[in-house]
Chains A and B, each alone.
Chain A
Amino acid sequence: AQSVSQHNHHVILSEAASLELGCNYSYGGTVNLFWYVQYPGQHLQLLLKYFSGDPLVKGIKGFEAEFIKSKFSFNLRKPSVQWSDTAEYFCAVKANSGYALNFGKGTSLLVTP
């Protein structure tokens, strides 16, 4: 069975600090990879996704993620966070031939002014 692990459950950063959120998964086959964000009081929104090709993918709001196949990782990065990035971030993995998104437990990010 697939599993998704997000290393940091709670992260606190000051504005302008750099962000990296870790995500590792266990699955031997081809996968599709996603990062979703849930801002306070809002629904889950897609930040970025990887299906194939360039392992460095860029998403909305200056976020990017790098797929490292040998490490089964898909870490999310942003060079300089803003207060408005305060949210819950979820990594999700789907087997290429499957139906279900398998989510990590999420990382709560608080950006302080």
Chain B
Amino acid sequence: ETGVTQSPTHLIKTRGQQVTLRCSSQSGHNTVSWYQQALGQGPQFIFQYYREEENGRGNFPPRFSGLQFPNYSSELNVNALELDDSALYLCASSPGGLGADTQYFGPGTRLTVL
């Protein structure tokens, strides 16, 4: 059984640029959630995708957007990058549908915005 994978591992961007992060869910999981973890903080929920639709969103601006594909993999897009966007971005997959319970995390993508 393959766990959650994310790419790339590390990324450096400059302010104002756009970035796309990718996530492959664990086998058999159809729900994907994205989190932002700033240094020294716990992860903060960005949004969740189920059946290719966003079905829950945290307190993040619209420049954070996502997609889920028919194979349940997902992308997180961030436009107009700001310095405060520097963080570890975590993807988590879960087996259920809406409000799916246990989430399993990938290794994360470390984004640095200069």
Residues of A within 8 A of B (CB): 4, 32, 34, 36, 42-46, 49, 51, 90, 92, 94, 96-106
Contact = CB atoms under 8 A, between A and B. Distances in A.
Contacts, number: 57
B45 A100 contact: yes
Contacts of B40: 105-106
Contacts of B42: 4, 90, 92, 103-106
A37 to B, nearest CB: 11
Q: Which of B42, B45, B48, B106 has the most CB of A within 10 A?
A: B42
Contacts of B44: 103
A57 to B, nearest CB: 13
8 contacts: A43-B4, A44-B43, A94-B101, A96-B99, A97-B99, A99-B56, A101-B45, A106-B40
Interface of B: 4, 33, 35, 40-45, 48, 55-56, 58, 90, 92, 98-99, 101-108
Contacts of B101: 32, 49, 51, 94
Contacts of B4: 43
Given A101-B103, A105-B40, A43 B108 contact: yes
A43 B107 contact: yes
Given A99-B98, A101-B92, 9 more contacts: A43-B106, A44-B105, A90-B42, A98-B56, A98-B99, A101-B33, A103-B43, A103-B44, A105-B42
